[in-house]
A and B are shown apart, each in its own frame.
Chain A
Amino acid sequence: MKIKKVNCLIDFFSEEIPSSMQIFLEKEFNLLFEKVLNKVLLNYEKIEILSSPRHHCVLIHNIDTLQKDQILDIKGPRIDAPKLAIEGFLKTNKTTLKKLTVNKTNKGEFYFHKKFIKGKTFSQLVTDIIQEVCTSISWPKSQRWGYSDLKWGRPLRNIMVLIDKSCVNGKIKINDNDFIKFKNYTLGHRSLNKRVKVNSANDFIDTMKNSYVFVNRLQRKKAIELQISKISKKLNLYYCRDDNLLNEVTGLVEFPNVLVGKIDKQYMKLPFEILSIVMKVHQKYFSLLDNSKKIAPYFLVVSNLKPNNQTDKNIVKGNERVLRARLSDALFFWEYDCKNDFSYYLNKLKTIIFYEGLGDLHDRSLRLSKISENIGPLFNINDNKKTNKLGLYSKLDLSSNLVGEFPELQGTMLKYLAKLNGLSKDMQFAFEDQYKPVGLNKNMPRNKLGSILSVSNNIDTLSCFFSIGLIPTGSRDPFALRRSGNSLINILWHESNTLNLNQLINSLDKKFRKDVKLVNEIKFFLIDRLYNFLIEEGFRSDKLSAIISQDNISQKTFLEIKSELKELDKILNTKSGIKFISNFKRIYNITKKSKMLSKSFKMKEELFIFKEEIQLYKFLNKLSKNNKKSSELNYNNHLRHLNEFNFLIENFFDNVLVNDKNTQIRKNRIKLLESIKLNFEMICKFQLIKT
């Protein structure tokens, strides 16, 4: 049989799979089909993945109809093996001694059996391929249904497999007794409610389109965008592209039909954040902007039904009613909240418990005002009154009705309350931005006040929960304290130059900062977070362990850590640097091995014999002097001398035997090496660097 090329279409029809999971499944299908097809040695041009809420399809272009025949060399026993072993090999391979070949390997001469494997046809293999893919998907979330043991994103109801024009008969197992049999049809749009036969794999996309299903995600997305832009043009408004929403909605419909509804005028006075949360997050509507970039009183809903004047009207009417109900809730709360002043909210905070044993939100506000005041100067903000107010007011909106209803508006609501109460713009921004950055996300507060508040929030949260013993363990972190730690490290790394952990801890209340055990726990935790953060940022872990340790972290500012990492990279980029590290490691290993050295042993210059060790001794003195001169340890002092060091130490090792017969001389030499090691180790644990 000759190998020909065919196109193959595999259609998995299921109940509605969530939008984000469709994207996951696309990637997974691509990966798994590629893997399995390569395993069975079938060549193909490309794999195309199509997906919609109910259809997930794989289109394999120009795949071989036939596997190539294979000849396998199966290794048998050595030619001098016992007869029994050789006979056994012949039996299992159904062959005779004459047909075996003998090959030399480095372990002697062996019998080999040439096994001929006839290639199978693609249509013979396709069922097994599908079964293997189906059971190998590693779903982030999946379910069983009926009696199935097989898991899928939502119940899998039908499979159709086409090789060019012919349907494949096959089935996949869903439990010990039951199967999903491949059908010669799939299903079209729900409103069509009928079986769809497809003539050939090539026709699939068009046939589905005629059955009101756009199986191509990109096409569907483009169709939505096109309709949106048509409508916005007609209304003389602008569409501000929103990729997240667009992607989500593309995964919610199979036949997009964009309809436009109106928003009652009375709701347009709501802040745009409220309008946008209700519209976008809750209802998945698009909004349009007018000339002055304000939200226009319209919403766009992407319906999943083919256009029809009467039904479209009904759908719009229904959606308008839902939106009205939600907005009237919001408006009621908004107007109620705007009537109250700061002292009302501040008092109300006293009725909301922050956490049992940690007081109420008013107590938290007082703590935050103190911390903000303390760290202000470290961000070059010296207006104590301002930073104090900043902290004190920062949680007010948590006692408003609107935030009770829409928790995602915390901070934003406060921005508006601050505006109403005549607070400055920078304060308003700071209130709004105080929850940024979220973990390792790069979105930072817009101004320094915002950064101060963000840092205050997180260090207060950590110190409070740690103080009552609620420290994350293993996978248990119910208060998301790791994320708090991540946010804290993230913002300090990007926004602060002069702050170190000691200063951060000193900004806390006395009862926290004087508690040695607590302080150590927080430091230990934050070092771990910092480490984790820097790994995420792409730094190598060996470099991090060399520079960051529990002993030095508290005094180092983030700026210093940054520059040390940079300096270290500089060293590693030079030949002399690499040489230095290997020389250093040599010293390190020698001093580690020799346990006989007592601490009280003092180096004596007169015990040195060779010029090479005397030179090294002088070099050590120079290093120590440098250290004393400069108040801070830094690379430059030491690393200027790398070449000199390399030269001296190599000379030393070449000409001087450390293990002298005379104990005093030996001890003296080891002491010299150890002193040099200590001197370099003070700035970086070079022994940990992998070269």
Chain B
Amino acid sequence: MQKLSFQEIILKLLNFWSKHGCTILQPYDMEVGAGTFHPATALNVLGPNPSWKVAYVQPCRRPTDGRYGENPNRLQHYYQFQVIIQPSPDNIQDLYLKSLKEINLDHLNHDIRFVEDDWESPTLGAAGLGWEVWCDGMEVTQFTYFQQVGGFEVRPVAVEITYGLERLAMFIQELDDVYSIDFNGLPKSSGGKSYGDIFKDAEKEYSEYNFEKANIDKLFNEFDNCVKECNDLMSSEKPLVKPAYDQCIKASHIFNLLDARGVISVSERQAYILKVRNMSKTCCSEWIKKHEN
């Protein structure tokens, strides 16, 4: 049997969750550290619609995880497949296992394990209980029942399923190196591309940028601007929640870049996280107010 390519895995998952009633969204057009930041997750689980089912692929950036393209398991840019369903259905674990079967990971043939891993995002003020899902020892998914976002209770509870697409592909294609993932399933001679063909060079450049070149003064300025703009937008008579939330996303990424540049001390770290958390809290609270009626 031909092993599934990276894009086939995505297509199959999209197809599966679409069939199970999910609205298929596109990635959010900003730099985020995780699919959770997408407003379709972070804001929407706080209402107004108690029935909210979406799935989307989200490119993620984690500047500190860059390894100049030299580590076979670490990337500063990678893809998550995100499913969010509210309220969490009774058969969600079964649905998830079915989705794995779609990409040739049958739980009858593989040791699938739900291992305790409670999740928390300090910048989003979000927390939930759940597991990391192991497939023959490899962590392939984060599975979380959201209890809180922006410091507010999530009611009804939403479930978030985050597949690590590269991990899944490495597992399915039985590889030790992320860059050798078959991306499009074609032979080399007819335009076949590996993950490395597409991203390795970018990993090198971005690692250099993240760790060495990003302009620190500019970033500090930008961070302050984001905080200010968010506050301005939220304190006006007619608060604009989503644009303000964008500023919060932006600030969070800038903070991650500054962290990669190694210019944030332990104590400052806490202070920056708190600033972003306050932004997201105000946005969430305003979002709830706006949709209460």
Contact = CB atoms under 8 A, between A and B. Distances in A.
B110 A311 contact: yes
B197 interface: no
Given A143-B145, A147-B87, A314-B109, A329 B71 contact: yes
Interface string B83-125: 0000111100110010000000001111111111010000000
A15 B113 CA distance: 11
Interface stretch (A58-66, A235-243, A298-306, A596-604): A298-306
Nearest to A310: B109
A350 interface: no
Contacts of B114: 15-16, 53
Nearest to A261: B137
Interface string A208-219: 000000000000
B73 to A, nearest CB: 5
Contact of B118 (A141, A351, A478): A141
B39 interface: no
A369 B171 CA distance: 49
Contact of B136 (A148, A315, A356): A315
Nearest to A21: B116
A180 to B, nearest CB: 10
A319 interface: yes
A157 interface: yes
Given A141-B118, A145-B145, A321-B174, A315 B131 contact: no
B273 to A, nearest CB: 12
Given A318-B136, A356-B267, A145 B107 contact: no
Given A318-B171, A321-B176, A322-B138, A145 B157 contact: yes
Most A-side CB within 10 Å, residue of B71, B97, B145:
B145
Contacts of A351: 262
A141 B72 contact: no
A318 B145 CA distance: 28
A253 B112 CA distance: 10
B108 A191 contact: yes
B190 interface: no
B136 A314 contact: yes
B137 A144 contact: no
Nearest to B73: A325
B47 interface: no
B176 A356 contact: no
Q: Which of under 10, 10 to 19, 20 to 34, or 35 or more describes the interface residues of B?
A: 35 or more
A338 interface: no
A365 B63 CA distance: 30
A16 B96 CA distance: 14
B239 interface: no
A325 B72 contact: yes
Most A-side CB within 10 Å, residue of B89, B137, B156:
B137
A528 B45 CA distance: 46
Contact of B129 (A141, A157, A318, A329): A141
Interface in A350-390: 351, 353, 355-357
B118 to A, nearest CB: 7
B89 A318 contact: no
Nearest to A479: B266
A18 B115 CA distance: 7
Interface in A153-193: 154-155, 157, 190-191, 193
A315 B111 contact: yes
A190 B107 contact: yes
A328 B156 CA distance: 44
Contacts of B111: 301, 303-305, 315, 318
B147 interface: yes
B112 to A, nearest CB: 8
B217 interface: no
A426 to B, nearest CB: 32
B175 to A, nearest CB: 8
Nearest to A17: B116
B137 A323 contact: yes
Given A18-B116, A324-B176, A353-B266, A318 B156 contact: no
Contacts of B262: 351
B267 A145 contact: no
A527 interface: no
B176 A314 contact: no
Given A18-B116, A324-B176, A325-B73, A356 B109 contact: no
Interface string B156-193: 11010000000000010010100000000000000000
A356 B157 contact: no
B209 to A, nearest CB: 20
B129 A355 contact: no
Contacts of A123: none
A672 interface: no
A146 B157 contact: yes
A18 B113 CA distance: 11
B109 A311 contact: yes
Contacts of B147: 143-144
A87 B145 CA distance: 58
A439 B113 CA distance: 34
Nearest to A353: B265
B113 A304 contact: yes
B268 interface: yes
Contacts of A53: 114
Contacts of A301: 111, 137
Interface string B266-288: 11101000000000000000000
A147 B136 contact: no
Contacts of B174: 317, 321
B202 interface: no
B156 A15 contact: no
A581 interface: no
B135 interface: yes
A299 to B, nearest CB: 10
A555 interface: no
Interface string A272-296: 0000000000010000000000000
A145 B88 contact: yes
A104 to B, nearest CB: 58
A319 B136 contact: yes
Contacts of A19: 116
B108 to A, nearest CB: 5
A154 to B, nearest CB: 7
A318 B176 CA distance: 10
Contacts of B131: 16
Interface of A: 15-16, 18-19, 21, 53, 141-148, 154-155, 157, 190-191, 193, 252-253, 283, 301, 303-305, 310-311, 314-315, 317-319, 321-325, 328-329, 332, 351, 353, 355-357, 478
Interface of B: 71-73, 87-90, 93-94, 97, 107-116, 118, 128-129, 131, 135-138, 145, 147, 155-157, 159, 171, 174, 176, 262, 265-268, 270
9 contacts: A141-B118, A143-B145, A144-B155, A144-B157, A145-B157, A190-B107, A304-B113, A314-B136, A315-B110
